[in-house]
């Protein structure tokens, strides 16, 4: 392991790396994040020059370890508190059982003064966190809806069916079409009473509506913060003729990837704000802001855009939204996963009863 180099990458170091094309040259087959994503990270108004945004481990020119860190603020009784989201922790398989995972994680804790928040704890990392001084909070259910027969899932479970894979693909397309038609009929009448204002950037008038629905969020929001979150320049869209020259560990490179953000209008009045990430066949809800009176109309708006996107999956951490979709619309399968967040015990904040909204800490 004498050829291994571990770097705590700060904002200023990342800026230099971009100028030198340090992590994206032709020798690099796997990169931590794409160049557009790296440039986007530098635009974060909550990152300072000495703040760490990644822990990178290289063996010669090969990336073998990566921890993604995003500086943010936590709203406390004493004002804003600097914290760091740690939502991606990857180690090359050949080092999974070595000291490298623990070493790099310890390095990330020290580099951030242990002010770490983890949005979601995966099964592959839960054992590590059980041994550390982290507090569980924000228990909630994540809903994953499937709106067609998933032939990949079927063939993975029943290997013998791979011989009829073309037939299963046709069946999947037919089921997707049929379910879309059924759900489109469910929103046909209510859709007539709403209109949309699409947003590339949020202006002062847009923000007036949005901020009222974010006032109690764990993570404070601002107009510039939301504009940074929904900025499509962070993504790299590829095609058959324009392929990415590397594999990217953050899922920000795809043949179809962009944010879709819009206001929902009823009778010339704004009644909702919705922002989703469309990535391949995934329709990932990040903001669904509405009051109870207009909830069903905003749900219509969400489903209208989902059907138009031709995606197969809806993913949401909003338990109320998940229950409404499950109750009102047809799908082939719903996976409900219990999840929770973690905060290091040294963070000066009482997390008892703290609610993690789906718009908090999401930076893919």
Residue 237: per-residue pLDDT: 92
Specify the residue for token string 């180099």. Answer: 5
The reply to whether 4-140 and 143-338 are identical in fold is yes
Q: What span, in angstroms and rounded, lies between the C-alpha atoms of 30 and 65?
A: 11
pLDDT tens-place string over residues 319-353: 999 999 999 999 999 999 999 999 999 999 999 99
Q: What span, in angstroms and rounded, lies between the C-alpha atoms of 36 and 236?
A: 7
Architecture of domain 143-338: 3-Layer(aba) Sandwich (3.40)
pLDDT at 51 over 60: yes
Distance from the Cα of residue 139 to its chain's centroid: 18
pLDDT tens-place string over residues 242-294: 777 788 999 899 999 999 999 999 999 999 999 999 999 999 999 999 999 99
Residue ranges covered by each domain of the chain = 4-140, 143-338
Q: Does the predicted TM-score (pTM) go above 0.85?
A: yes
Residue 364: per-residue pLDDT: 79
Architecture of domain 4-140: 3-Layer(aba) Sandwich (3.40)
Q: How does residue 14 score in pLDDT terms, banded at 50, 70 and 90?
A: very high
pLDDT tens-place string over residues 196-235: 999 999 999 999 999 999 999 999 999 999 999 999 999 9
**Mean pLDDT, range 309-318, rounded to an integer:** 96
> Nearest CA to 56 among 46, 44, 64, 48?
64
pLDDT at 155 over 70: no
């Amino acid at each position: 392991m004498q050829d291994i180099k571990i770097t705590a990458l700060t904002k200023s170091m990342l800026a230099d790396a971009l100028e030198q094309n340090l992590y994206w040259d032709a020798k690099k087959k796997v990169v931590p994040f794409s160049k557009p994503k790296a440039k986007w990270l530098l635009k974060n108004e909550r990152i300072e020059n000495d703040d760490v945004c990644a822990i990178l481990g290289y063996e010669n020119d090969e990336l073998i370890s990566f921890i993604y860190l995003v500086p943010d603020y936590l709203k406390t009784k004493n004002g804003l508190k600097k914290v760091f989201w740690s939502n991606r922790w990857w180690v090359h398989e050949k080092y999974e059982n070595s000291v490298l995972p623990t070493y790099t994680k310890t390095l990330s804790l020290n580099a951030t003064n242990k002010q770490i928040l983890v949005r979601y704890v995966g099964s592959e990392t839960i054992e590590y966190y059980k041994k550390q001084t982290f507090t569980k909070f924000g228990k909630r259910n994540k809903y994953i809806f499937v709106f067609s027969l998933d032939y990949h899932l079927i063939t993975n479970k029943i290997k013998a069916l791979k011989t009829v894979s073309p037939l299963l693909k046709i069946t999947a397309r037919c089921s997707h079409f049929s379910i879309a038609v059924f759900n489109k009929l469910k929103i046909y009448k209510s859709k007539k009473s709403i209109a949309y204002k699409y947003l590339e950037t949020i202006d002062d008038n847009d923000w007036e509506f949005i901020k009222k629905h974010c006032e109690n969020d764990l993570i404070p929001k601002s107009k510039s913060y939301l504009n940074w979150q929904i900025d499509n320049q962070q993504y790299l869209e590829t095609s058959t003729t324009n392929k990415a020259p590397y594999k990217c560990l953050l899922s920000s490179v795809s043949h179809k990837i962009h944010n879709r953000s819009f206001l929902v209008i009823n009778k010339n009045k704004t009644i909702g704000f919705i922002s989703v990430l469309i990535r391949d066949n995934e329709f990932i809800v990040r903001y669904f802001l509405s009051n109870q009176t207009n909830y069903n109309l905003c749900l219509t708006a969400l489903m209208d855009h989902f059907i138009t996107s031709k995606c197969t999956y809806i993913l949401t951490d909003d338990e109320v939204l998940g229950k409404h979709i499950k109750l009102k619309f047809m799908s082939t399968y719903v996976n409900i996963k219990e999840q929770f967040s973690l905060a290091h015990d040294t963070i000066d904040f009482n997390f008892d009863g703290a609610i993690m909204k789906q718009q908090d800490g999401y930076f893919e």
